Amino acid sequence: MLKYKNKIILAVTTAVFGILIFATALWTGNNGCGEESNVICTSNGKFEVEILENHARMLSQDGKTESIYMPGEEKKIFDYCISSITNTLDDKLLIITGDSDEYYGNELQVIGISPDGEICKELTKSMKDMNPHDINTSDVDGDGIFEISITMYKKTRFHPVMAERPYIYYWSEDSINPMWRGSRLSRPFSEYLFYDLDGDKREELIAIEYLENGSQLLNAYSWKGFGFESTAYSTAYDEITGLKKRVDKSGASRLLAQIDVDGKAEWIEVEHGEEGVLKLHGEK
């Protein structure tokens, strides 16, 4: 009897787990770090990850090891990313945490998986007064190792106004090290992501920026050894309300931007046109 009971519990748990993962994907709006954004792949095996605001739970694929990470009392997870950040294929779980009643996070946690399948905290880095809120990874310089990109809402010494700012770090000697603190793009922006639009196997930083008159455009930046340089941009739109990567079943990916089409918000494919031009699909 107990055996069947356990089977039922397992089935229910699996179903709940599936729903939670689905809910998680909705909540994060898909971080798009890996092909399988809720699986941590390590040399010690694959682990399914369920991440909600107050915990991350990892389950080995044979179901034998379960390990739970909690950000702490009255703290929550603001954003996360699963990615390798070294020259190995071992994924880590990168988490922005902070006080649960705040709008922005204040800490970075880097979490790995030990050989026995347990969660191990590899780094806790305070980002107090930096207001981190978005984390992602990309191989910015094309050396085969992913860098960490964190968006902060803060002032800088040379630009003392509160603004969204991208920071890029690389992982070395068990910690993060600044690779780019340029902290400004050409214009103020609402969001950005990394995507290889021109097909040269290097991802560009693609941002939704504001023009002075309030309209918006897409601006693509390429890494030029010491920083990002704008290499292509779109025409201006009244409003660009979102940017996302969509991967279809065959593994092919597309970049989509959300714009207003005849009074309706629609996701439109972004393409690289002739030199320096980003086209939204269907555009003349």
Contact between 198 and Ca ion (CB under 5 A)?
yes
Supply the minimum distance, in Å, between the C-beta of residue 113 and Ca ion: 22
50 phi and psi angles, rounded to 5 deg: -115, 125
Residue 53 or 200 with smaller CB distance to Ca ion: 200
Stretch that binds Ca ion, among 4-12, 47-55, 198-206, 274-282 (CB under 5 A): 198-206
Q: What share of the chain is helix, strand, coil (3-state, %, to 5)?
A: 10, 55, 35
Side-chain-side CA neighbours of residue 129 (13 Å):
2
209 within 8 A of 219, measured Cβ to Cβ: yes
Tell which one of 200, 229, 238, 266 touches Ca ion (CB under 5 A).
200
Residue 59 or 270 with smaller CB distance to Ca ion: 270
Interaction residues for Ca ion, span 246-265 (CB under 5 A)? none
Stretch that binds Ca ion, among 123-131, 141-149, 248-256, 268-276 (CB under 5 A): 141-149
Contact between 196 and Ca ion (CB under 5 A)?
yes
Contact between 102 and Ca ion (CB under 5 A)?
no
What does the block give as tokens for 63?
């179901």
Tell which one of 181, 184, 187, 202 touches Ca ion (CB under 5 A).
202
The contacts of residue 131 (CB under 8 Å, 6+ apart) are 103, 104, 105, 106, 152, 153, 154
Residue 104 or 171 with smaller CB distance to Ca ion: 171
Tell which one of 48, 91, 107, 139 touches Ca ion (CB under 5 A).
139
Tell which one of 102, 143, 239, 283 touches Ca ion (CB under 5 A).
143
Cβ–Cβ contacts within 10 Å for residue 89, how many?
Answer: 9
Contact between 229 and Ca ion (CB under 5 A)?
no
95 within 8 A of 80, measured Cβ to Cβ: yes
Count, residues near Ca ion per rule CB under 5 A: 8
Supply the minimum distance, in Å, between the C-beta of residue 225 and Ca ion: 12
Supply the minimum distance, in Å, between the C-beta of residue 88 and Ca ion: 14
Supply the minimum distance, in Å, between the C-beta of residue 278 and Ca ion: 12
Q: How far apart are the first and last CA of the chain?
A: 68
Q: Quickly list H helices, the chain.
A: 2-28
The contacts of residue 270 (CB under 8 Å, 6+ apart) are 197, 206, 218, 234, 255, 256, 257, 278, 279, 280, 281
Contact between 145 and Ca ion (CB under 5 A)?
yes
d(CA 276, CA 38): 35
Residue 199 or 263 with smaller CB distance to Ca ion: 199
Interface ranges with Ca ion (CB under 5 A): 139, 141, 143, 145, 196, 198, 200, 202
